[in-house]
Amino acid sequence: MTRSNMAMAGALCLLAVLAGVRLLGGDPGIDLQAILRGDDQEQAILTHFRGPRVILAMMTGAALAMAGTVSQVMLRNPLASPDIIGFTAGASAAAAAAILIFGDISAAMPGALAGGILAACLVFGLAWRDGISPLALVLVGVALNLMLITATDILLSLSPGILASEATRFLTGSFASADWRSAGLMALACLVLGGVLAGLAFAIDRLELGDDLAVTLGLAPDRIRFCATVCIALIVAVSVAVAGPIPFIAFLAGPLARLAAARPGTVLGLSAVIGAILGIGADLLATLPIAGIRLPAGVFTALIGAPAMLLLLLRLEVDRK
């Protein structure tokens, strides 16, 4: 059994355990015997609340992970994940703006979709120099990310208290408002857009050799990056729309998968499973009261993600030496 297969098997087992615990565990847990006896209430908790929430957490995690790893590989930069180069911030800022303007949380979805796509266009447009320079794209993205975060803060501080607090809650990212509609939408996005990315992954892995070599191997780097970026922007937009911004999954899953499989490239399948683990793990932590309070999932991914980012950067420094 190869190292990648072993890593995949291990990750799938871990995912199954976490999904099982999240589905049935907790305090109070689901009483399976009661369901078998035909207890409607227990069954309703499982199918109306926990079921969609588990699906949403897994699908969001997997989709973000695929978007992140593809974007890191095709831009040859571990920092180039959509939550760092402005896509997530664009979707979030527009979603927050929509909530504040229309005074309704349901405006978040179209806002996030429009914002994510707009941010991607902006990053691409500003970084375009007779083709896409990966480094320019990352730098433009990081700058835009900061601008969008600031714009969101300004928006929030200018808004009336109740709406602002509602928007703030949305902006921490959580799977708590899951229903079958949001879970289904995310699953659809994950499968369709993830499928397209899977079709592109072979070519994207070869972009890592540099554009010159990719061209002479018969590939069209700009076209590949364009198609992949459309998928990435859509994944981010849908995920923000259904769960708010869940930071760092996109950033972390790819490097973790490459580490576990000990091979370079997108490692798309394993990244997706690791993303699902991160999603459901964060949601599991979100249901545990810590010092009496329950924190949203997005807080936990940020708690794990920020130090992991530091570690990754330090490791990169060591490797360069």
Partner 1 sequence: MKGLEARNLSVDLAGRAILQNVDLAIPEGGVTAIIGPNGCGKSTLLRTFAHILRPSAGTVLLDGLDIAQVPPRDRARRIGFLPQSPQTPEGIRVRSLVTRGRTPHQGRFGLLSRADHAAVDRAIALVGLQDLADRRVDRLSGGQRQRAWIALTLAQETSILLLDEPTTYLDPPHQVEVLKLARQLNADLGITVVMVLHDITLASLYADRVIGMKNGHPAFTTGPGEPLQADQIRNLFEMDVHVLAHPTSDRAVIVPVQ
Q: Where does this chain bind partner 1 (CB under 8 A)?
A: 76, 199, 202, 205-206, 208-213, 215-220, 258, 262-265, 319
Residue number with CB closer to partner 1 (108 or 231): 231
Neighbours of 188 (CB within 10 A): 12
Smallest gap, in angstroms, from Cβ of residue 247 to partner 1? Answer: 24
The number of angstroms, rounded, from the C-alpha of 132 to the middle of its chain's C-alpha atoms is 23
Residue number with CB closer to partner 1 (34 or 215): 215
Query: What's the Cα-to-Cα distance from 97 to each of 106, 109, 201, rounded to whole Å?
Result: 12, 11, 35
Residue number with CB closer to partner 1 (61 or 265): 265
- Helices of type H across the chain: 3-24, 32-36, 40-44, 51-74, 87-102, 108-127, 134-158, 161-172, 180-207, 211-216, 221-243, 249-261, 268-287, 297-320
Q: Provide the residue count of the chain.
A: 321
Smallest gap, in angstroms, from Cβ of residue 255 to partner 1? Answer: 10
Residue number with CB closer to partner 1 (27 or 319): 319
Residue number with CB closer to partner 1 (212 or 317): 212
CA angle 116, 122, 128 (to 5 degrees): 135
Smallest gap, in angstroms, from Cβ of residue 73 to partner 1? Answer: 8
Sorted by sequence, the CB contacts under 8 Å of residue 285 that are 6+ apart come out as 295, 297, 300
Smallest gap, in angstroms, from Cβ of residue 231 to partner 1? Answer: 16
Report whether 59 contacts 187 (CB < 8 A): yes
